[in-house]
Amino acid sequence: MNYETDSKTDFGSIAVAICVAAYAAIMLAYLAQHDLGLTATQTRHLSMMAALFLALPIALDFLRTGPGKPR
């Protein structure tokens, strides 16, 4: 068994992950607008702030380790 090929992510997995994330975003936007009463602008601003706070630690972790370096 070749462990190098087993750890690689294939295109199908990436496509499924993107579709699931898009579906979750659509459902959360519907919930925010129809059940919580937020406007589209408020929803957009809150989602941009949430994405920033969620992506910032991940980006800092990538910058800390550098490309191709194991932990």
Per-residue pLDDT, averaged over 47-68, amounts to 83
**Predicted model pTM:** 0.56
Which amino acid appears at position 64 of this protein? Answer: R
Distance, CA of 19 to CA of 49 (rounded, Å): 22
Which tens digit of pLDDT belongs to each residue from 13-38? 889 989 999 899 889 889 988 999 99
Q: What is the distance in angstroms between the CA of the first residue and the CA of the last residue of the chain?
A: 24
Contact 43, 33 (CB under 8 A): yes
Which amino acid appears at position 44 of this protein? Answer: R
Distance, CA of 55 to CA of 36 (rounded, Å): 25
